[in-house]
Amino acid sequence: FRGYHGKAALFTHIFNVSLDPPCVLLMDTGAHTIQEITCSACSAYLGWKIVRAHEWAEKWKEGGCILELELV
C-alpha cells in the first residue's frame, strides 16, 4: 500500500486512535469511503480506515485500516 508519506500497511485491529467523519477519497483503485485515523493522545495523523469500497474487486479492504509506516 502507498500513503501520502510513502509506504503503508493494512491492519485489521488498531487501538488508541480516533476516527474523523467519513468522506469519499478517489484512489488509483477507485472510490472509497474512508475515515481518517488520528492518535487519540496527540491527534497526529496516522492513516485511514476503509469504510466502503465502491468497486466490487476492492470490497476485501472494507473495515481495514491503512497506517502510514513513516508516521507510526
Q: Residues 13-54: pLDDT tens digits?
A: 999 999 999 999 999 889 999 999 999 999 999 999 999 999
Q: How many domains does the chain have?
A: 1
Residue 72 confidence (pLDDT):
85
Q: Which domain holds residue 29?
A: 2-71
Please list, residue by residue across 45-64, b when 16 or more beta carbons sit within 10 angstroms of its beta carbon and e when fewer do. ebbbbbbebeeeebeebeeb
Q: 3-class SS at 21?
A: coil
What are the Cα distances from residue 60, in Å, to 32, 45, 55?
A: 12, 24, 10
Percent of the chain topping pLDDT 70: 100
User: Rounded to whole angstroms, how far apart are CA atoms 11 and 3?
Assistant: 14
